[in-house]
Structures are given as C-alpha cells and as structure tokens.
Amino acid sequence: MSDLADLYQQVILDHNRRPRNRGKLPTANRVAHGDNPSCGDQCSVYLRLDGDRIGDISFDGSGCAISQASASLMTTQLKGKTAAEAEKMFGEFRDIVTTGQAPEEISDVGAFAGVHAFPARIKCATLGWHAALNALKGDPVTATTETHKD
C-alpha cells in the first residue's frame, strides 16, 4: 500500500519547493490554460515553438503539490521536443500515474507513480500536460490567458 509519504516523494517535494521554469515566458507564441476544479488546481503553460520543436517552455499556476510539481517536471522534460514527442511522453506519463508502473530509466517522472493509488489526484498530475498539449495544438483555450488572474 502506498501512503502519502510515498506519494509526496523527494522529487515532487523538490519541484514544489523550487519550481523549474515558473512564470510567464515573454517569448511564448503558444499559451494554454488548464483547470482542475475538483482539486482547485490551475496551470498555464507558455511555450515558444521554433519550427516544430519546443524552443522554450514555462508554466504558471497554483494548486496542490502534485499539480505544480508535475507541471514543473514536465517543463524540464518537454524542452527541445517536437509535438509528436511531447504527445508520446504524455502517454508514458499517463501510464505511470494510472498504473503505478514506472520505467526505472525515467526516475524523475517515475516519482509520480505513487499517484495511481489516489485516483482523484491523477487529474492533478496530468493537468500541466493537458495544457501543454493544448498549447501545442493551438487550441482556442489560449484566449483565456489574458484574463487569467494570478
């Protein structure tokens, strides 16, 4: 049985204490906002597409430790990737948090395997990823950025 001590592993705590790539990205040409009302999490993802690659990426938001740490970790994973690669990585991440089966070679992402024991938190863990993929697709949700209140 997993417990909260497992869930909030060191990687998650670290990303929560020292979020990577947090804040608006001035050079962003794609933005999307994600909302997880069941937990109260919000996450905006800013990214700059250089051709078909993510040249730079950042996130901003508020919410539980899982949602914010996951978004932080995601930005470190997606930089330099193509949209297709990002979608594949999201598929792998979603498998990790829904099954609890973490491939050993992806240690940081594997820290989120404990989330699978808390089904309600899976949405927290995937919130930032959904926003990032929406940003990559250029979905209309990008329009919400201007009204996003901090």
Binding site for Zn ion (CB under 5 A): 39, 41, 63-64, 67, 124
* Of residues 39 and 83, the one with the C-beta less far from Zn ion: 39
CB closer to Zn ion out of 12 and 49: 12
Which tokens sit at 72? Answer: 């932080």
Query: Which is nearest to 43 in space by CA: 18, 30, 61?
Result: 61
In the complex, minimum distance from the CB of residue 30 to Zn ion, in angstroms, rounded to a whole number:
24
35 vs 56 by CB, closer to Zn ion: 35
Q: How far is the CB of 114 from Zn ion (least distance, A)?
A: 14
Q: Which two tokens stand for residue 45?
A: 């993802």
Residue whose token pair is 């930005």: 75
Q: 131: which 2 tokens? A: 């926003």
Min dist CB 127 to Zn ion, Å, is 7
Residues 6+ apart with CB under 8 A from 65: 8, 12, 13, 16
